[in-house]
Structure 1
Amino acid sequence: MKRAVKTPKLYFLDTGLAAYLLKWKTPEVLEAGAMAGAFFETFVIAEILKSNYNAGVLEPSLYYYRDKDGKEVDLLIEQNGAVYPVEIKKTSNPGKKYIANFAALEKIKGLTVGAGGVICMYEKSVHLNDKSVTIPVTWL
């Protein structure tokens, strides 16, 4: 897959330090703030990175996808010749709309797309379609 966007997505891996630097003193302020979704995404990425590091994978193949039409996928996990799309949403009501951009990956010639998921606040895993499921954040 050729690079679709030249600007990488950057994450501040210590969400506690980031909240402190922004002077957000309580969890309630963070929970209700405009950046709550971005902090949730950052937390999830940090947990996935830590899991990889703890498994001895020091350079995991994790990517962000955004094409020229603005279609984005929060996380692509490349493994065994395939990419696995993941959306990260701070919602307890996940739906098919969150996996709509996975279809953009299917159109890329020569790319093998595996099963996808939506990491979210929903308490159990359910199928969104035949290839995508919800993944409770508590499973990380």
Structure 2
Amino acid sequence: MYIKRQMEESINKAAKMFGAIILTGPRQAGKTTLMKAVTKGISYITLDDPIMLQSAVEEAGTFFKNTVPPVFIDEIQYAPNLFPYIKMYLDAEKKKGQFFLSGSQQFKMMKNVSESLAGRIGILNLLGLSLREIKGVSYNQPFIPTSEYFTARGLDIKKADYKEIWSTIHRGCMPELQANPDFDWQIFYGSYTKTYIERDVREITQVSDELK
């Protein structure tokens, strides 16, 4: 089940402004699902595929020649060596909305983005689902503490009862949990912590060591 994200509009706007767009954010926040929804009809490559990844890393020139923009390249953090090729293409073609990229926001990846694609790439950060997205609320005006704002917002959002508030807090903002109400939130977040956060902490520690 796809939950419509408010970030869709921002991606479409950025695609008209920049040759490349990168969507970063926490793991399992819905980056791939969102980008697929926005980029329907164009080529899709995931570097989670071991064969694709090997080609991108070891034969970047050949890989890039076989990649016809516009294209969505998922998990780009695994092959930061592709950024100079993207830069060369954008400098030569001068077209907007050619490369849609997604990846976890890692220090090394963003360093390569800043060095290779400055001025050529729109950088967007996707977090978990907002309460508006979870509830399917169409009212998305910026928060302004006025009576008019609360009146208009109240027409779209019903008051939650006590149990619903605690359920919302426990289940959090991850799309996987919202799409599967039968999933146990404690098991989910326990596994999330073990498989992702601890690994990311190790990577950050390695970066810290490199900066010393």
- Rg larger for: 2
In proportion to residue count, which structure has more strand? Answer: 1
Determine which structure has greater relative contact order: mean sequence separation of CA pairs < 8 Å that are 6+ residues apart, divided by chain length.
Answer: 2
TM over 0.5: no
TM-score (norm 2): 0.23
- The structure where helix makes up a greater share of residues is 2
